[in-house]
Amino acid sequence: MNNTCFRHTDSEAYVSCGRCDRKICPDCMISAPVGFQCPDCVAAAQVAIPKTKFGGSFNLVPKVTRAILITCVSIFALSMLLGSFAFTYGMIPEAIAQGQWWRLLTSTVLHSGILHLLFNMYALYWLGPQLESMLGQMRFASLYVLSALGGSVASYWFSDLNTVSVGASGAIFGLITATIVIGREMRSDVSQLIVLLGLNVVIGFLQPGIDWRAHFGGAAVGAAVAFLYTKGTRLNRDQIHRAGLVGIFAVLVLATVARNTQVSALIGI
């Protein structure tokens, strides 16, 4: 019996398309009103893919989550071979004030050790696919990037000037608070996530070397973005979300510019 996908012959497949009955792998499975269909049949029949109330689709392949995981793990592996990238691409206030603004984002794909990486990647693996399916790829990517940026901006504002900060923790905290906000909107039980959030906040204060400022910044931005995603109807949802995301990004940019002025005065630029 042939258990390979008709489109990807090197992938195992145990599900058949509901229209043509050909075997399809997870990458080719598209949710239909009943069962799954292959991309060819969806395109031919112009079957509408069911949407969530937040504008996502029931896509079983979390491509954005997968890309973030691969990126972070690959960069960590390179750092093990070539040496730490923290001083070159990490969040260092003095360097950012001198114009190296990209560190606010590059620092979020770096990790200080294997445990740091494993914790963040496990949390991403746990939370990412569900959120990505619920929100859609573009909304999820925006949530992740803005949460990561929010964590870096908060760290930039409230850390000592000689701080070197790295890690995806700000983004992860943003995913946690976003899941809580969206879960409450759907009347789901999010008590376990609230407890998890509280425990990690406490650990951030007790454990030396943890940038709790980035945690708070990422959590605040993640909650704000998720709250934005709960607004609007199917007719005006996209416009409201785009305008809100631009507004949140603008606030973070203005906060960065304001901090640049302070840091530049302190170091005499």
Q: Copy the structure tokens of residue 165.
A: 């900060």
Given CA atoms 30, 34, 37, 40 in this order, what sign does their dihedral have? negative
Q: How many CB atoms are located within 10 Å of the residue 88 CB?
A: 13
Residue 169 known to be catalytic: yes
Q: Write down the catalytic residue from 79, 142, 155, 215.
A: 215
Q: Write down the catalytic residue from 133, 142, 152, 169.
A: 169
Residue 111 known to be catalytic: no
Q: Copy the structure tokens of residue 259.
A: 């901090």
What are the CA-CA distances from residue 172 to residues 34, 156, 213 (Å)?
34, 18, 13
What are the CA-CA distances from residue 36 to residues 1, 5, 9 (Å)?
20, 13, 19
H-run or E-run covering 263:
helix 237-267
State the catalytic residues: 169, 215
